[in-house]
Homo-oligomer: A and B are copies of this chain.
Amino acid sequence: MVSRVKRLLIGRPRKSTELDQEKLTKVKALAVLSSDALSSVAYGTEQILIVLIAAGFTAIWYSLPIALAVLGLLAILILSYRQTIFSYPQGGGAYIVAKDNLGVSTGLLAGGSLLVDYILTVAVSASAGTDAITSAFPNLHDHTVAIAVTVIIILTIINLRGVTESASFIAIPVYLFVLSIVVLIVSGLIKYAYSGGHAAVPEIGTAVSNVSLFLLLKAFSSGCSALTGVEAVSNAIPNFKAPAEKNAAKTLAMMGGILGFMFTGITLLAYWYGITPNIKETVVSQIAESTFGRGVLYYFIQAITAVILFLAANTAYSAFPLLSFMLAKDKYLPHAFMVRGDRLGFSNGIIFLGVASALLVAAFHGETDNLIPLYAVGVFIPFTLSQLGMMIRWKKLKPAGWKAKFAVNTVGMLTTLTITLIFVITKFSNVWVAFIFLPIVMLIFFRIHRHYQNTADELRIQLDKDKPCIKGSTIVIPVSAVTRAVLNSISYAKSLTDNVVAVYVGFDEEEIRKMEAKWEEWDPGVRLIVLRSRYRSVMRPLVKFIDTVEWKNAATDHITILIPQFITKHWWQAILHNQTSVFIRTYLMNHKDIVVATVPYHLNK
């Protein structure tokens, strides 16, 4: 039953050799990896204007130089990540680059930030998309959490089906979104050219008395939230069709171009139309309304924007499992993250991401706005570390033309560091939790690593010295009655050794007398030892008896507890039987150095 439902949801299992077919073309990769970055267009300009409007309407012209600065930063990031892609064709996420050049701890800091960040991405995007829906249908407002969690479940299932199927599913809305924003920008420009913009728009360069540097920095850092998601491509190089690094670099460039164009267009139109941020209507919605009026095109743009916000979460579904795989391979996360599922994705990473983000949504009742600054810090810390790592790398390797490359990464590092600091300073109340949480995550990484190393040390053998050694054997069979299961166990035990003893734990004298009489009558050729239990516990006297056996025989014999167990035909029948044998097995296996064997007897009815 369970396996049939799984087959229906996830699809048939795939052979390991099908892995190559799972690789992404550029067109599909752009869809899968850029939805997070591109969806930023839906709120990037708005974030800048929200900060500026605090200084009055005349301040909105500052959105143009700020947007230019953001574009400059985008260009720096793209150039810098391009360099990373060619330097690390196996996958050059911040974790790899930082670990490789700055040491393990720094790498883990970058990796930990990113992992937490991907969970935040899913939670924030799912909540944001749900807000778009509930704005349109206010009577759904009570079900925010349910809708967001449903979206997360759907994304999880899609990703469990596999990367390319997920890509096919996602490509259509992503390209529709890009197309509709391009149509919006072009139509807006044409309209502006013919009929002009808002009359009172402040001219560029107008002096505004109460604009401080702090305000401008805050606006700039807010605008930088449009740049989250840019790192996705460099993490995912192994997912590309060959030649992977070239395809990845081209995809990155395409993404940068599209993002830059859309961001510039929206910011320009917002300025020309004199649009101010409004709690009830997004900036993109206002531009669309000014351009098209509230017609079919307007509603289409709104709908596709909601969809792209949901799909932004999908970027994390590509990146999280890959990054957790890398950390698991380096023994900083449980091995379970290394297992490829039936459809060749890293199922455990996908499921973990889904569960963690759903819990986050539930914990915040779907109101995840306060998580956004945290989420931005979580991106810019690894950005900074990754660039710093690249700087060190150029300095060390000094390939031809390294100075130019070093310069690019230096500018990038300084910029992202500055932005990180601006975030921390301007939004400390939302961000402080990262300074508690990240050290805990790193501590967990190190604890896991230590455990794996200790385990490997303990289990390692010297191939030339440690050889099997032969010993005798003592078998103890706990019995509760004379049954066919006991008969089978005794047959088995006597086939292995003559050193077999049956143990019976009795609670009252009459029971014990009956059992002894029956055993004597049966006479299976094995001695029955009776233990009396005044506290009606089977475990305590049994363990005491085994202690004695160990003390007497452990030096010369392997000691085996052989448990006769009948297995019911249907699982629910098991509740009709006291599962003493399960307790005995679990307890002994965890506490004693003896072999625990079970002789199953399968009931047919």
Using A463-B521, A595-B598 as known contacts, say yes or no to A536 and B16 having CB atoms under 8 A apart. yes
Q: A471: CB under 8 A from chain B? A: yes
Q: Which residues of B contact A508 (CB under 8 A)?
A: 16
A467 to B590, CA, bound (A): 33
Q: Which residues of B contact A448 (CB under 8 A)?
A: 576
Interface residues of A in 140-192 (CB under 8 A from B): none
Q: Which residues of B contact A1 (CB under 8 A)?
A: none
A23-31, A36-44, A454-462, A546-554: which one contacts chain B?
A454-462
A336 to B580, CA, bound (A): 11
B598 with A597: CB separation less than 8 A: yes
A535 with B16: CB separation less than 8 A: yes
A598 with B602: CB separation less than 8 A: no
Q: Which residue of B lies closest to A494 (CB)?
A: B468
Q: A22: CB under 8 A from chain B? A: no
- Nearest CB in chain B: distance from A33 CB, A: 25
Q: A17: CB under 8 A from chain B? A: yes
Interface residues of A in 502-540 (CB under 8 A from B): 507-508, 518, 521-522, 524-526, 534-537
Using A471-B495, A484-B461 as known contacts, say yes or no to A589 and B596 having CB atoms under 8 A apart. no
A594 to B488, CA, bound (A): 11
B490 with A468: CB separation less than 8 A: yes
Selected contact of A463 from candidates B482, B566, B576, B597, CB within 8 Å: B482
B466 with A484: CB separation less than 8 A: yes
Q: A497: CB under 8 A from chain B? A: yes
Selected contact of A494 from candidates B470, B573, B577, CB within 8 Å: B470
Q: A438: CB under 8 A from chain B? A: no
Selected contact of A339 from candidates B340, B467, B536, B562, CB within 8 Å: B536
Q: Which residue of B lies closest to A459 (CB)?
A: B483
Q: Which residues of B contact A568 (CB under 8 A)?
A: 451, 455
Selected contact of A16 from candidates B497, B534, B567, B575, CB within 8 Å: B534
Q: Which residues of B contact A567 (CB under 8 A)?
A: 589-590
Interface 0/1 of A97-121, CB less than 8 Å to B: 0000000000000000000000000
Interface residues of A in 541-570 (CB under 8 A from B): 558, 560, 562, 565-568
Q: A65: CB under 8 A from chain B? A: no
A536 to B334, CA, bound (A): 18
B461 with A482: CB separation less than 8 A: yes
Interface residues of A in 428-483 (CB under 8 A from B): 448, 451-452, 454-455, 458-461, 463, 466-473, 481-483
Interface centre among A17, A459, A482, A525 (most CB of B within 10 A): A459
A451 with B576: CB separation less than 8 A: yes
A508 to B602, CA, bound (A): 36
Selected contact of A472 from candidates B459, B495, B522, B560, CB within 8 Å: B495
- Nearest CB in chain B: distance from A13 CB, A: 5
Q: Which residues of B contact A496 (CB under 8 A)?
A: 473, 496-497, 558
Q: A492: CB under 8 A from chain B? A: yes
Q: A578: CB under 8 A from chain B? A: yes
Q: Which residue of B lies closest to A570 (CB)?
A: B451
- Nearest CB in chain B: distance from A118 CB, A: 20
Interface 0/1 of A330-355, CB less than 8 Å to B: 00001110011010000000000000
Q: A4: CB under 8 A from chain B? A: no
Q: Which residues of B contact A414 (CB under 8 A)?
A: none
Q: Which residues of B contact A536 (CB under 8 A)?
A: 16, 339-340
- Nearest CB in chain B: distance from A487 CB, A: 5
Selected contact of A487 from candidates B15, B461, B594, CB within 8 Å: B461
- Nearest CB in chain B: distance from A526 CB, A: 8
Q: Which residue of B lies closest to A328 (CB)?
A: B576
- Nearest CB in chain B: distance from A483 CB, A: 4
A575 to B336, CA, bound (A): 8
Q: A212: CB under 8 A from chain B? A: no
A521 to B604, CA, bound (A): 47
- Nearest CB in chain B: distance from A167 CB, A: 22
Interface 0/1 of A579-605, CB less than 8 Å to B: 000000100011011111111111111
Selected contact of A485 from candidates B459, B487, B535, CB within 8 Å: B459
Q: A278: CB under 8 A from chain B? A: no
A463 with B518: CB separation less than 8 A: yes
B595 with A599: CB separation less than 8 A: yes
Q: A370: CB under 8 A from chain B? A: no
Q: Which residue of B lies closest to A557 (CB)?
A: B495
Q: A87: CB under 8 A from chain B? A: no
A458 with B604: CB separation less than 8 A: yes
Selected contact of A597 from candidates B454, B466, B526, B595, CB within 8 Å: B595
Q: A135: CB under 8 A from chain B? A: no
A560 to B492, CA, bound (A): 10
Q: Which residue of B lies closest to A331 (CB)?
A: B576
Which 5 residue pairs across A and B have the least CB separation, nearest first? A597-B597, A459-B483, A454-B605, A468-B491, A15-B534
- Give 15 pairs: A residue, B residue, CB < 8 Å, sorted on A: A15-B534, A17-B534, A334-B575, A334-B576, A334-B577, A336-B575, A451-B573, A455-B603, A463-B521, A463-B522, A491-B558, A585-B598, A592-B600, A594-B600, A596-B598
Apart from A16-B536, A469-B491, what are 7 other A-B pairs with CB-CB below 8 Å? A16-B508, A451-B576, A459-B483, A459-B601, A470-B494, A496-B496, A560-B597
